[in-house]
Structure 1
Amino acid sequence: MRRKLRVAAYAVCVRDGQILLARSPGPDGTPEWVLPGGGTEHGEDPYDTVRREVAEETGYRIEVTGLLGIDSSRHVFRGGRLRRRTDHQGVRVLYEGTVTGGELRYEIGGSTDFAAWQDLDAVPGLTRIRLVDVALRLWRERPAPGHLPPGDRPLPR
């Protein structure tokens, strides 16, 4: 079985009762809302990753104002006709950020196609990835260890 580790960094930017989200095509093609952010490049610090990714996906420059925590997940994906099974672990570093410049725009030719401020109260009604819920819990509760207990994390959608 193939083993894969992906380290990524994401930003929780909240202002005036809204959160900055990006839209990405889901696994089945249905658009879903995600946090701006993405995978670290080899040798890149996650702090630099989150600033780069937010700029790429939204057009904004941000100041990282805090570390909210870490989310880790592990899934085994079945192999297709020519692929081996993959044991995939994702480690996601979640930062709090404040927009300091730039203008909202959409990413062209990337992993997202739209960015927008969404009302915090509307988030439960959005088609979104689980990480949005995890990040908002970390942002609201700010647990001392920066981690939600395994049995207390939102379930995958």
Structure 2
Amino acid sequence: MRETLRVAAYAMCIRDDQVLLARWTDTQGRPEWTLPGGGMEHGEDPYDTVRREVEEETGYLVEITGLLGVRSRNITISRRFRRTVHHHGVGLVYEARVTGGELRYEVGGSTDMAAWHPLADVPGLRHVDLVDVGLRLWRERPVTGRVTVPGQE
């Protein structure tokens, strides 16, 4: 079985009881909301990754105000020709504050929309579990920098 590793950095931007989310399309073509952020480029510091990715996906410039935690996820993915891949994703979740720029949509990237959503509305949105992880890290601020979500204990 092939093994892959992806390291990424994401931002929790909260203001006025709203969270900034980016929309991407899953493998079945369905739109889902996620935290703005993405994969590190070779040699890039994750701090720089999250700032770059937020600007690319939302148009905003952000100041990193803290490291909330790390999400480590292992999944097995079925690929074409009956090949399977064991994928390990490591995501650093930062707290960030918008300092400039203007909200806009990403063109030609991995997301197609960005928007502020009331925190109370998040459970009703079609979203990836990374959003739940980020919100728990932001609310609970565990010393270990780790939380689990149902189904991923």
Range class of TM-score, shorter chain: over 0.9
Pairing 1:155–2:118 present: no
- Note the alpha carbon deviations across 1:20-43, whole angstroms, 9 max, x for none: 001111121110001000000000
- 8 Å contact kept, 2:129–2:149: no
For residues 65-91 of structure 1, what are the alpha-carbon distances to aligned partners after superposition, in whole Å with 9 as ceiling and x for unaligned? 00000000001112321x631110000
Query: How many residues were matched structurally?
Result: 152
CA distance in 1, matches of 2:30, 2:90: 24
| 1:57-136 to 2 correspondences below 5 Å | 57-81=57-81, 84-136=83-135
Give the Cα–Cα distance (whole angstroms) in 2 for the partners of residues 95 and 76 of structure 1: 26
Which runs of 5 or more residues in structure 1 are unaligned? none
CA drift at 1:147: 0.6
On the 8 A contact 1:57/1:115 being kept in 2, the answer is yes
1:97-145 deviations in Å (ceiling 9; x for gaps): 0000000000000000000000000000000000000100000000011
User: 1:1-51 CA deviation, whole Å, 9 max, x = no partner?
Assistant: 111000000000000000000111112111000100000000001100000
Root-mean-square deviation (CA), in Å? 1.1
* Native 8 Å contact 1:134 1:154 kept in 2: no
**Residue type of the alignment partner of 2:2:** R
Report the secondary structure of 2:80's partner residue.
coil
Asked whether the 8 Å contact 1:130–1:154 carries over to 2, the reply is no
Match of 2:10 in 1: 10
For 1:122 and 1:99, locate their aligned partners in 2 and report how far apart those are by CA, in whole Å: 21
Q: TM-score, normalised by structure 2?
A: 0.96
- Which consecutive segments of 4 or more residues in structure 1 shift more than 3 A? none
Distance (whole Å) between structure 2 residues aligned to residue 154 and residue 16 of structure 1 = 28
Which AA in structure 1 matches 2:89?
G
Counterpart code for 1:124 = P
Question: What residue number does 1:52 align with?
Answer: 52
Amino acid at match of 1:93: L
Letter in 2 for 1:8: A
Distance 1:29 1:155 in 2: 23
Name the SS for the 1:108 alignment partner.
coil
Normalised by the size of structure 1, how large is the TM-score? 0.94
Percent identical:
62
In structure 2, list runs of 5 or more residues that go unmatched: none
